[in-house]
Amino acid sequence: MNIMFAAMLGGWEIILILAVVLILFGAKKLPELAKGLGTGIKEFKKATREVTDEIHNATEETPMPQRKLPPDGGQPQPASTISESPTPPKA
């Protein structure tokens, strides 16, 4: 994308943009603006890297091991019966 951006702007256009920025913000504010821009770009790259790493780690996680069948061949156990106490008749 940088190549395409540079192809669209020639040398004079870049000089004109820099002159306008210098006039608008002044020479004293330019280092602060550049520092803030650099910090913002660094934070953005860090966040992007963290998200990419998290996605990469999530896709490489080993699946949970499958449960083994019980030694009796995996036959279901009969349900235990619970005797219900009779309910008193309603009046």
Residue ranges of alpha helices (H) inside 1-91 are: 2-8, 11-60
For residue range 35-79, list pLDDT tens digits in order: 999 999 999 999 999 999 999 888 887 666 677 766 665 555 555
- pLDDT for residue 18: 86
pTM of the model: 0.45
With a CB cutoff of 8 Å and minimum separation 6, the contacts of 25 are: 33
Break the chain into its structural domains and give their ranges: 2-60
